[in-house]
């Protein structure tokens, strides 16, 4: 455990130093969040004046609905892209084999390498919510902290599981994976990111039920704006938990297999 923590900290500090060396990018990124939240704010004024009770937007209005959608979407995209991008970059620079030649287990090295990106994504999500509260008066009248504390780790586990599958694809075929783009686009369409899923046709709504973000958003929005607890969130909570129970082990198995295969056939040095 102590060795694993040292590895995580080493990767974190390396990437943080690299990130902080581009301060202009950080400022531009913050400005981008403000611009995006401004667009949501003004669009929310239009939507909130037009929607009827029972529209599915919830007590937070469209601003709260869209901000939560954007927060979870950004976390999902980070989890989906972090592993394959790190692996692909190491393949192209020829450093993947050197990374895996250390005494540290290959699985730990590859899993820990995007640790900073995960931390930054969580911090960015928090900043986005705080900006919405400070600049645009987003209100959380009712919040169930326990439900949120259970939901967010489950969401991260589900997203990371998909990221491991994407990383496995990158290791095996030595190409950018299509999994991130597919799940990203499909989540926007059928996951309830920017509009309630009840406006979708039945067949598409059913397909959206297999996405973890669909249930994660239901949990986060209802816990954050409606104050609903775990007792009333049984369906989305059970669906998200089921996804984690099934996909997390599958992701780990495929990732371990892909690492062993790449080392066995010597494809670590090929790109």
As a whole number of angstroms, the distance between CA 255 and CA 270 comes to 18
> Given a cut of 80, is residue 30 above it in pLDDT?
no
Comparison of pLDDT for 210 and 99, the residue scoring more: 210
Cβ burial of 126 (10 Å; 0-12, 13-18, 19+) is exposed
Residue with more model confidence, 254 or 41? 254
User: What is the Cα 77 distance to its own chain's centre?
Assistant: 5
* Candidate from 34-43, 101-110, 173-182, 216-225 with smallest mean pLDDT: 101-110
Mean pLDDT of 51-61: 61
Mean pLDDT of the region 29-49: 73
pLDDT of 239:
95
Helix ranges restricted to H, the chain: 2-20, 23-50, 61-93, 96-100, 106-112, 115-136, 145-173, 179-190, 202-208, 212-225, 234-264
Asked whether residue 64 carries a pLDDT value surpassing 80, the answer given is yes
Confidence of residue 176 (pLDDT cuts 50, 70, 90): low
C-alpha 55/C-alpha 53 separation (Å) is: 6
Which tens digit of pLDDT belongs to each residue from 116-171?
A: 788 888 888 888 899 888 888 888 878 899 999 999 999 999 998 888 888 888 77
Six token digits for residue 212:
């973890």
Q: Report the pLDDT value the prediction gives residue 159, as an integer from 0 to 100.
A: 92
Tokens 């406006």, residue located:
199
Greater confidence (254 vs 52) lies with 254
- Looking at residue 264, its pLDDT comes to 73
Q: Which residue has the higher pLDDT, 217 or 143?
A: 217
The pLDDT assigned to 247 comes to 92
Question: Residue 267: helix, strand or coil by DSSP?
Answer: helix
Does 26 score more than 80 pLDDT? no
Q: What is the mean pLDDT of residues 23-45?
A: 73
pLDDT at 53 over 50: no
| Single pTM value for the model | 0.81
Position 182 scores a pLDDT of 81
């Amino acid at each position: 455990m102590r060795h694993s923590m040292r590895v995580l900290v080493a990767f974190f500090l390396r990437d943080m130093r690299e990130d902080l060396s581009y301060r202009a990018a950080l400022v531009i990124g913050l400005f981008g969040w403000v611009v995006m939240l401004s667009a949501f704010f003004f669009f929310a004024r239009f939507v909130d004046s037009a929607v009827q009770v029972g529209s599915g937007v919830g007590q937070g209005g469209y601003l709260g609905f869209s901000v939560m959608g954007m927060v979870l979407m950004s976390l999902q995209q980070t989890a989906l892209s972090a592993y394959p991008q790190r692996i692909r970059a190491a393949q192209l620079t020829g450093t993947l084999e050197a990374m895996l030649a250390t005494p540290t287990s290959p699985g730990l090295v590859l899993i820990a390498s995007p640790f900073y990106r995960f931390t930054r994504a969580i911090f960015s999500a928090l900043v986005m919510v705080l900006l919405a509260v400070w600049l645009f008066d987003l209100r959380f009248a009712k919040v169930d902290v326990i439900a949120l504390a259970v939901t967010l780790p489950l969401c991260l586990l589900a997203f990371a599981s998909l990221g491991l599958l994407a990383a496995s694809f990158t290791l095996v075929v030595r190409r950018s994976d299509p999994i991130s783009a597919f799940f990203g686009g499909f989540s926007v369409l059928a996951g309830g990111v920017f509009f309630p899923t009840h406006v979708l046709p039945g067949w598409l709504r059913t397909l959206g039920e297999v996405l973890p973000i669909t249930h994660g958003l239901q949990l986060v929005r209802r816990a954050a704006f409606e104050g609903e607890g775990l007792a009333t969130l049984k369906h989305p909570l059970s669906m998200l938990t089921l996804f984690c129970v099934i996909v997390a082990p599958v992701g780990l198995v495929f990732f371990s297999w892909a690492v062993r295969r790449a080392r066995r056939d010597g494809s670590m040095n090929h790109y």
